[in-house]
Homo-oligomer: A and B are copies of this chain.
Amino acid sequence: MADKEKKVTIGLDLGGTAVKIGIVDEAYELLAQTSIPTGAERPYEQVIADMGMAAAALLQENGWRMEDCLGVGAGCPGTIDSKNGVVLYSNNIRWDNVPAAAGLQRYLPVPVCLDNDANCAALGEVTKGAARGYRNVVFLTLGTGVGGGIVIDGRIFTGGHPGGAELGHIRNGSEHRRCTCGRYDCLETYASATALISDTKKLAAQYPESVIWELCGGEAERIDARMPFDAAQAGDVCGRMLVERYIRHLADGITDLANIFRPDRIVIGGGVCAQGRNLTDPLNKYLQENCFAASTAYVPQVITAQNGNSAGIIGAASLVRQGMR
């Protein structure tokens, strides 16, 4: 049982199918956690009520009173007005202009902070994770899309207006790939796990002898983002081409961000990062060769995220103490 003398913080990670709820201590150690289905098809008031009540129950079940709780942080996909605690627009949960922070506060009468989930994950890697102790960090999450989070001087930078830090939506390749945002050739269309899987399906179709077909049991629909890496490791030509191309696009996007932010560290998260140094070694090599003024100025190191499945909870919980500094 945790030390009840010390204050705790609640982190809420609101996803399309589930809401993860956790209680963390001042070192961002996860003391208790639970998960509930989002039920995003319901009116948002009901979703928020479920989240608030489940968080309050988790506190109580573990022996904390509301007075022991410093505050609640919530991370949500989409365009967030963090100053006013409003979800302006979230495609995943179909929310449009939802005052989520005020809604949660009805059930959790403590300070409530709200931010974009990628911003939260970025902050979580700074408070407890791969970039712990660093003040200036750029975070990229490589999943269905490419999300971005920027930490400047220890705090999340969301942009002058909501809708900033959309690091997956900077120009990258030149194959005229249509992005979900409407623009062409965004980084997301080359460097997301979705893009890698789609590219793998296309190229493997031209290499019937590729190891990838063994890995997926001959079923293209079973191809995942790990298979091209595994195939490349096994010396497969098709796999190598895919991995080299993927890394070049990602490296190009990361170089842009290094030239703009010149941060202490660039952290990459998402499933693809299980590749570890197979991914970061060539990324760091490219950055050393292509970063502006690499011979005279600091070149940030690229590292993989550490918070894994708890990234959302830890990041969201970090919003609370961050706002108090």
Q: Which residues of A contact B (CB under 8 A)?
A: 79, 88-89, 96, 135-137, 148, 150, 152, 157-167, 169-174, 181-183, 252-253, 255-256, 259-264, 289-290, 292-294, 296-298, 300
Contacts and interface: CB of A to CB of B under 8 A. Distances in A.
Contacts of A160: 135-137, 152, 261-264, 300
A263 B161 CA distance: 6
8 contacts: A160-B263, A161-B298, A163-B296, A164-B261, A170-B259, A171-B172, A171-B255, A174-B174
A85 B96 CA distance: 47
Contacts of A290: 182-183
A1 to B, nearest CB: 40
A137 B161 CA distance: 11
Contacts of A166: 259-260, 292-293
Nearest to A265: B160
Q: How often does this chain occur in the complex, in copies?
A: 2
Nearest to A158: B262
Contacts of A183: 255, 290, 292
Given A161-B263, A162-B262, A182-B294, 10 more contacts: A79-B296, A88-B296, A89-B297, A159-B260, A159-B262, A160-B262, A161-B300, A163-B298, A166-B259, A171-B253
A164 B297 CA distance: 9
Interface of A is mostly: loop
A164 B260 contact: yes
Contacts of A157: 152
B261 A296 contact: no
A181 B261 CA distance: 17
Contact of A264 (B161, B163, B259): B161
**Of residues A88, A148, A171, A293, which shows the largest number of chain B Cβ atoms within 10 Å of its Cβ?**
A171
B171 A171 contact: yes
A67 to B, nearest CB: 34
Contacts of A261: 159-160, 164
A134 to B, nearest CB: 8
Contact of A293 (B163, B263, B293, B297): B163
